[in-house]
Amino acid sequence: MSQLHLHHLENSRSFRILWLLEELELDYQLTKYERTAAYLAPESLEKIDPTGKAPILEVDGVSMIESGHIIDYLMAKYDTEYQLHPKTDADSLVWQDYDFWMHYAEGSIMPSLVMRLVFHKIAEKAPVLIRTITRGIRKQVEANLIAKNINTALDLVEKQLSNTQWFAGSEFSAADVQMGFVIEAANAGHALDKSKYANTLNWLKRCQARPAYQRAVEKGGKLNF
């Protein structure tokens, strides 16, 4: 069996990989990193991979990056009985849902969530003399661009979870792990309206109740945006 070493940055996408490794009950080494005062990844991650971004999963000493790519690798290598991902079948609605949400997480909704976080941090850390201006810019960008994109995406999520218990049907899958980080980020500070996104929030509670998720929190820290 390959030697796995996860380099995990707090409050980052690498929580997905930590959670998935726990779901698969694999043996792995874990190294944790704290963010800098500027909320960036530390330069020490660049020694592991030139990108300096998390997650980084070393497989027999060779670094692997990008959440979706790492998840696909772990599914192909270790989920041989298809417990956490469906067999590829273009005509299968379960596979289509699984593949769609695996891509939708990073391709459509995360860019807007990252933009929201960036503008929040800029306004929060701006010098006092220009803080009022930066906060005004943040509010304008939020109102005119970010909120609409995120709300549209969350409405699509809510619609999906009103019809299925998990993102790929009746069974928990790696697509739920991929989307978990997205929904936690969207719900930062308990921002989601319970009346509007009840199915989404109930899904999140089911994820957080899973023993593997709880072990990931114990080992890597709770997501706190």
Rounded to whole angstroms, the Cα distance separating 216 from 31 reads 13
DSSP string covering 161-201: HHH-SBTTBSS--HHHHHHHHHHHHHTTTS-S-TTTSHHHH
CB 65 within 8 A of CB 49: yes
The residues, ordered by sequence, that sit 6+ positions from 221 with a Cβ below 8 Å of its Cβ are 10, 11, 32
pLDDT in tens, 194-216: 999 999 999 999 999 999 999 99
Rounded to whole angstroms, the Cα distance separating 23 from 175 reads 13
SS3 32: strand
Query: What pTM was estimated for this model as a whole?
Result: 0.91
SS3 142: helix
Phi/psi class of residue 221: alpha, beta or left (left: φ > 0; alpha: ψ in -120 to 50)?
Answer: left
**Mean pLDDT, the chain, whole residue set:** 92
Average pLDDT estimate for 9-33: 97
CB 138 within 8 A of CB 123: yes
Strands (E), the chain: 4-9, 29-33, 56-59, 62-65
pLDDT in tens, 39-85: 889 999 999 999 999 999 999 999 999 999 999 999 999 999 999 99
Token pair listed for 224: 């706190």
Walk me through the domains of the chain, giving residue ranges and CATH numbers. Answer: 4-80 (3.40.30.10), 93-210 (1.20.1050.10)
* Residue 189 pLDDT grade (very low, low, confident, very high; cuts 50, 70, 90): confident
CB 8 within 8 A of CB 18: yes
Tokens 């719900």 correspond to: 187
Token pair listed for 82: 């298809």
> Which of the given ranges, 71-75, 139-143, 191-195, has the highest pLDDT on average?
71-75
